Amino acid sequence: MQKRRLISIAAVLLISTLPASAGQKDRKWLVLYDFEDSTQGWENEAARPVEPILSSRRPHHGTNSLCFDFDFGPGRDSFSARVKMGKPRDFTVWESFEGLAAWVRVDKGKNIQAQMFVRSGPTWMWTPGPMFKGQARRW
């Protein structure tokens, strides 16, 4: 039996104007992708790709989130989405740059795991971020 899950994504760049020891609520966020008017170039990478859609059903902030209606089942136990930002950007020029962050939500099912990868450096190597564990129906 296949399980149908709606995956919502909100991606941001984290910039803090406070010392590294500051708490989560003290951080300031620069939103790179707000998904208010479009999918902003995000796409699903799969043998049978799922088209991205905008949904106002469960936005993290604002009025919309980027969503993929994806069927998990045999041979389809993972999902990936990406965006190409065009010209490379050097985020380290901001003195308070701490890293990239994304909010992911799966509306049905059990707990989830998510991981962000960034392609960077002079040789454009893929660098994995830490694996995060989350709960269904929560950002």
Q: Could you read off the pLDDT of 75-114 as tens digits, one per residue?
A: 777 788 887 766 667 777 777 777 788 888 887 777 788 8
pTM for this one? 0.66
What stretches of 16-111 adopt beta strand conformation (E)? 28-30, 43-44, 53-55, 65-72, 81-82, 97-106
Decide the pairing of beta strands 28-30 and 43-44.
unpaired
Higher-pLDDT residue of 51 and 76 is: 51
pLDDT digit string (tens) for 2-50? 455 555 555 444 443 333 444 555 566 677 788 889 888 888 877 778 8
